[in-house]
Amino acid sequence: MVKPSREETVAAGTSGSGDGKDALEKSLVEQLDKKFGIATQLNNAGDMVGSILTIATLFGLAEALKLEGTRFNVLIAMMRIGHMISPVRLDWVRNKVCKSHASLPGFACAMGVLLVLLSVFPSYPRAICILFLLGIVDAALEYSLAVLIRSWYTSKEVRLIGSGAASANIWAAINVSILVFMAQWKGLPGEHDWWSILLTVGTAFAIYYAPLVYWRHPRFPETAAWPTQAERALLEQRSTQRSPMISAPDPNARLTFSVLRNATLWKHALLQMPSEMALTYATFWPVIVAGACGVEKMTPGWLLASACPWIVPALLRIGISRKFRTITPEFMAGQLALQWLCSLLAFVGFGIASLTTHRFLLVPALVVMPLHDIGRLTSLFAFVSLPPALFSDPSEIKSARFFSGLAGSAGTLLGTFLWPVTYEASTYKIAFGVQAAATLLSTYAVHFCVGEIRTRRAARSEAEEEYVPLQVGSKELDAAV
């Protein structure tokens, strides 16, 4: 079957028929997917930087910065803190940055420059400052990309091109393996591998990704010149279906402590702590694999082997994104089932690793651990959707999200200090055990949030059904009078 051209699709869309409109909308979404192909690669920029830094510690960065004890954990924590307390806020990004299509490539360039500075000035105090700034830039990059995507897509359209921590680990392992292999082939000294890794990756962000994102930037619906007249009319119709995230904030919304009286909110916030803590192991994955498998010197082969377990969750995420284009009940049901199964397997893997140091048992356990990354999207939907289900006032919703986010930030920082760079069997056994508990609790947390959302919506629907007959009866009574 020959696929119709864009001109034929636009002509069918302007005819006014339902099939023509559906074809036009499908064509528009396909164009958006192509235009966002490069920009969405920056969706996991923070995870990429974390993976690169962890790999660099295995190639000499730990010795160069004298990363003893928890000093490397402090570096990663500083990047997390910079992201958490970033002065760049969503409102500022929406109102200021979105007026320029240079914002996204500009933040990518800034991230690359900071990585280059880290390689040029290898000092622990400077590294702390640079990592803090990297967290701020990562927050700005994340907000800019989120606003850009939600300016084009509707709230029910799912885009999962960035496959979480899986793509970050695979990307970092492949690129660093190529760099180290080329350095060894040219006979360069191995103690400077960390320097070439940070310098090359930083240069790639600044010189490769930034211009490419600028060139392929789809602009914003109000300023883009590529949509046709029919597509612009369709975009105006779709603007009412966009995510509330890009709408103007309620000026009366203020933080209020009255939401703390809600016991469900406390449970929601406390459950978000292990959910966020359970995701931090991905940053330290190369160190975990090297320590658990007894690798004394990391090589390109071992680095590629450490990325192999992430291929399965990455392929699953990409497969889901191709099968489901909109958020439907079938999508959520399938996501929940997949999340529970993958989290259970990951829990078994962490549990085995917490009980043994035998390589024969550790290797299969390490293979199933990254499956926990599959639950990241489901967790995001569940935790973001629960505050509006619990409260109706904008101030209460804002406060609920703030307090639950605060608990999640605490979990992130706790998880950051869970994995030391220097491998110790006893310490890692405890870390694997804590990770197993966090994985199991995060699975229950998603189940709890989804259950609360369904219960609240069902109760709200019943109340509306009871209210409608009364309203109709009142109108009939007024007419009779």
In a domain, 417, yes or no: yes
In a domain, 261, yes or no: yes
**CATH number reported for the structural domain that contains residue 427 in this entry:** 1.20.1250
Regarding whether 279 and 188 lie in a shared domain, the answer is: no
Regarding whether 313 and 367 lie in a shared domain, the answer is: yes
Question: Which phi and psi (to 5°) does residue 154 adopt?
Answer: -85, 170
Regarding whether 266 and 212 lie in a shared domain, the answer is: no
Regarding whether 458 and 323 lie in a shared domain, the answer is: yes
Domain boundary among 221, 239, 269: 221
In a domain, 314, yes or no: yes
Q: What's the rounded mean pLDDT across residues 236-260?
A: 62
Neighbouring-strand partners of residue 367 = none
Regarding whether 257 and 201 lie in a shared domain, the answer is: no
In a domain, 5, yes or no: no
**CATH number reported for the structural domain that contains residue 69 in this entry:** 1.20.1250.20
In a domain, 217, yes or no: yes
Domain boundary among 204, 221, 238: 221
Percent pLDDT > 90 in the chain is 12
Mean pLDDT of the chain: 78
Task: Report the C-alpha gap between 217 and 330 in whole angstroms.
Answer: 32
Regarding whether 182 and 324 lie in a shared domain, the answer is: no
SS3 of 242, please? strand
pLDDT tens per residue, range 393-416: 778 888 888 888 888 889 999 999
**Run of H or E residues at 66:** none
- Residue with structure tokens 């490539």? 105
Q: What's the rounded mean pLDDT across residues 108-125?
A: 89
Regarding whether 333 and 197 lie in a shared domain, the answer is: no
Looking at per-residue pLDDT, the higher value among 480 and 352 belongs to: 352
pLDDT at 243: 57
Residue 317 identity = R
In a domain, 166, yes or no: yes
Regarding whether 143 and 216 lie in a shared domain, the answer is: yes
pLDDT tens per residue, range 84-95: 887 666 555 555
Domain boundary among 201, 221, 241: 221
Among residues 303, 429, 320, the alpha carbon closest in space to that of 377 is found at: 320
Helices (H), 216-299: 229-238, 263-277, 285-292
pLDDT above 90 (res 265): no
Regarding whether 392 and 285 lie in a shared domain, the answer is: yes
> In the Cβ-directed half-sphere of 239, how many Cα atoms lie within 13 Å?
11
Count Cβ atoms within 10 A of the Cβ of residue 209 and give its class: 0-12 exposed, 13-18 middle, 19 or more buried.
Answer: buried
pLDDT at 196: 84
pTM of the model: 0.82
pLDDT above 80 (res 363): yes
In a domain, 293, yes or no: yes
Regarding whether 166 and 310 lie in a shared domain, the answer is: no
Task: Report the C-alpha gap between 235 and 151 in whole angstroms.
Answer: 10
pLDDT tens per residue, range 184-224: 666 555 566 788 888 888 888 888 888 888 787 777 777 77
Lowest mean pLDDT among 231-235, 274-278, 309-313: 231-235
Number of compact structural domains in the chain: 2
The domain in which residue 124 lies consists of: 20-221
Regarding whether 390 and 469 lie in a shared domain, the answer is: yes
In a domain, 231, yes or no: no
Regarding whether 399 and 321 lie in a shared domain, the answer is: yes
pLDDT tens per residue, range 16-48: 555 667 788 878 777 877 777 777 777 778 888
pLDDT at 366: 92
pLDDT at 114: 92
Reported confidence tier of residue 61, pLDDT bands at 50, 70, 90: confident
